[in-house]
Structure 1
Amino acid sequence: MKTKQIVFVLLRIVPAIILLQTLYFKFSAAPESVFIFETLGLEPYGRIGLGVVELITAMLLLVPRTTWIGALLGMGIMAGALFSHITTLGVVVQDDGGTLFIMALITFLCCLALAWTQRDQIPLFKR
């Protein structure tokens, strides 16, 4: 496998794993997730709905043909998460040391890189 291929696979797997591992907390109504979505005024529908969208996004990221769709969705979701952290929640949520913020930032940057590398697949940018 060439370096470029390895990077492409990692850029797909890292955000997918981050998105998938947070689903347990969203769907099980973990106290931290409930706190976040109550603070945002979106509990419980926002928590569950976003969990479903994140599951779909992770699946799209893992399929090479639909990676660009997952990347755009991931960028949108994580832009919202980052905005919420900066404006409402704070970088550190319930003494997590900024872990959620950092994971959102990593996911956003991976999705941004994927969208850039897959820009020829995006109908709006096709030549």
Structure 2
Amino acid sequence: MRKYLPTVLTLWIAFVFVQSLFFKFSNSPETQHIFGTLDAWGASLGFPGLFAPSGIFSQYVIGSAELVASSLLLLGLLPRLRILRPLGALVSVAVISGAILFHLFTPLGVVIDGDGGLLFGMACSVWIAGLVLLLQSRDLLLARLHAVTA
């Protein structure tokens, strides 16, 4: 189990992120609803355009970060590039932490367009998977850190 768990978790995170890229990069109605809700919320706080298509937290920026995380994780499956897996996990946890926080603490909410919380649940599963990958990689990270500081 321990041998295959990193691969399964890596593939799960990459699946969730990559399948969402179509929605983000095609400006689908679902994406317009999510980022439109967030942009209206940001504007009400005095930060208009933060989540707009040209904003610093637009679906294109978030989608690009998810693509980078997925690429790092998938490349980390190769034995010679294993060091990339914890980096991909770290990017995944960072990106999905923002998503979870926005679901919980903005008008966006947990249930999006009647999905029963599926999108939020997937975000939580990615967060847990990324955290497990980071924990499983701690020896590799500590060895690299020790090699750099020695």
Fold match (TM-score > 0.5) = yes
Please list the CA deviations of residues 18-52 of structure 1 after superposition, one character each: whole Å capped at 9, or x if unmatched.
00000000011111111111111102131111111
Residue 43 in 1 paired to residue 62 in 2? Answer: no
| Matching residue of 1:113 | 132
Conserved? CA contact 1:34–1:43, under 8 Å: no
Taking only the aligned residue pairs, the percentage that are identical comes to 35
- Flag the structure with higher helix content: 1
- In structure 2, the CA distance between the partners of 1:124 and 1:30, relative to structure 1 (3 Å rule), is farther
**What is the deviation of 1:122?**
3.0
Q: Which amino acid aligns with 1:61?
A: L
- Partner Cα distance (1:113, 1:27) in 2: 29
Distance 2:144 2:131 in 1: 15
Q: Deviations over 1:51-110 (max 9, x none)?
A: 111111101111222010010010011110000000111110111110110010000000
Q: Superposition pairs for residues 59-98 of structure 1, below 5 Å?
A: 59-64=71-76, 65=82, 66-88=84-106, 89-98=108-117
Higher relative CO (CA 8 A, sep ≥ 6), structure 1 or 2? 1
What is the TM-score when the length of structure 1 is the normalising length?
Answer: 0.91
Gaps of 5+ in 2: 40-50, 77-81
Unaligned regions of 5+ residues in structure 1, if any? Answer: none
SS in 2 for 1:44: coil
Q: Provide TM-score, normalisation by structure 2.
A: 0.78
Larger radius of gyration: 2
- Equivalent pairs, count: 125
